Amino acid sequence: MALRRAGRRLNFLRLLTTSASRSILSPSEKKPMTMNLFSAINNALHIALDTDPRAYVFGEDVSFGGVFRCTSGLVDTFGKERVFNTPLCEQIVNEAAKFRYRSGNQFNCGGLTIRCPYGAVGHGGHYHSQSPEAFFCHVPGLKVVIPRGPEQAKGLLLACIRDPNPIVFFEPKWLYRLAVEEVPHEDYMLPLSQAEVIREGDDITLVGWGAQISVMEQACLDAEKDGVSCELIDLRTLIPWDKETVEASVRKTGRLLVSHEAPLTGGFGAEVCASIVERCFLRLEAPVTRVCGLDTPFPLVFEPFYMPTKNKILDAIKATVNY
């Protein structure tokens, strides 16, 4: 089941500076480092605790560094008053999301960021491969943010920690060690509720998030060999999501494909598709399509069948373009 940490600020009146890029090192040390996902997250947590004396991290096993090593070294640097273990008692949907609303803004859980690993790892089985983002996307009052790699993760996590709303931050555990990138050393934040166009194209818009983005990138490269120009968008924040960017892209291409690991029915892809059809109906050249996990519990030996693989995405791209 999902592990969880939280970085919490008590001061909910603090304003966000989305373009902040505060350096915590001298100029000569500001070169990017090669990091994997858990190191980038660890770096972000260090910066968060360093820059805000009222920030702290608590959750399952954070003290020894966590089973995925995301919190390693924190307790040594910041002390056990600021980094400590706690058990879980989930109150996310009923309490954290609604406290500000139902108390007329007297109370809130704005300083709360909940980090959880999610997604397939190749052998996780029913409970260690799930993508539960759609459940949380259905709760007004929460934000849901999912990075696709180390560089994004650090900036997005810092933005989440400093955002005055409760946020669930899903980390693709498959990428903890596997994804390695150049990550800037300094303190930087990436904007929430802004999707990123990773790859430009004219024939079809692909929308995804998290680990699935790299699968979609492969599909885009293969499609290009067949003469199809794909535009790939990483949503980054699932709620509230950046409808404008996706709409602008579909107005350009006229076709939409959404892909996610979570099961098809009721997945967040449905929300994206419905919203885009509402906004771009007359522009669409083909029905919108979703390439997602199957509507089954996440299987163990059948994982390759379940997953929305590159080939499934390619098939869908071709079918849409040839509609």
Residue ranges in contact with another protein by CB under 8 A = 12, 15-16, 81, 86-87, 89, 91, 94-95, 100-108, 110, 140-141, 143, 163-165, 192-193, 239-240, 243, 278
Q: Is 128 a catalytic residue?
A: yes
Q: Is 123 a catalytic residue?
A: no
Residue 290 parent element (H or E): strand 289-293
64 vs 101, beta carbon nearer another protein: 101
Written as six digits, the tokens of 119 are: 């997604």
- Cα 84 to the center of its chain, rounded Å: 25
> In the complex, what is the shortest distance from the CB of residue 199 to another protein, in angstroms, rounded to a whole number?
26
Strands 237-239 and 143-145, by their bridges, are antiparallel
Concatenate the DSSP letters of all residues of 287-307 into one string: --EEEEE-SSPPPSTTHHHHS
141 vs 147, beta carbon nearer another protein: 141
Concatenate the DSSP letters of all residues of 253-277 into one string: HS-EEEEEEEESTT-HHHHHHHHHH
15 vs 301, beta carbon nearer another protein: 15
From 90, 200, 244, 278, the catalytic residue: 90
> In the complex, what is the shortest distance from the CB of residue 109 to another protein, in angstroms, rounded to a whole number?
10
Cβ density class 78-97: b for 16+ within 10 Å, e for less: beeebbeeeeeeeebeeebb
Cis check: omega of the bond before 240, within 30 degrees of 0: yes
- Cα 300 to the center of its chain, rounded Å: 24
Residue 140 vs residues 95, 214, 222: alpha-carbon distances, Å: 12, 29, 38
> In the complex, what is the shortest distance from the CB of residue 286 to another protein, in angstroms, rounded to a whole number?
24
The distance in angstroms from the start CA to the end CA of the chain is 41
146 vs 321, beta carbon nearer another protein: 146
81 vs 227, beta carbon nearer another protein: 81
> In the complex, what is the shortest distance from the CB of residue 136 to another protein, in angstroms, rounded to a whole number?
14
> In the complex, what is the shortest distance from the CB of residue 301 to another protein, in angstroms, rounded to a whole number?
34
153 vs 167, beta carbon nearer another protein: 167
What residues does 36 pair with on adjacent strands?
Answer: 180
Give the CA count within 13 Å in the CB-facing half-sphere of 125: 2
From 29, 81, 123, 128, the catalytic residue: 128
CB 246 within 8 A of CB 231: no
Q: What is the C-alpha separation between 155 and 322, in angstroms, rounded?
A: 39
Q: Among candidates 153, 170, 146, 176, which has minimal Cα distance to 36? A: 176
> In the complex, what is the shortest distance from the CB of residue 99 to another protein, in angstroms, rounded to a whole number?
9
> In the complex, what is the shortest distance from the CB of residue 126 to another protein, in angstroms, rounded to a whole number?
22
Cis check: omega of the bond before 184, within 30 degrees of 0: no
149 vs 155, beta carbon nearer another protein: 155
Q: Which residues are catalytic?
A: 90, 128
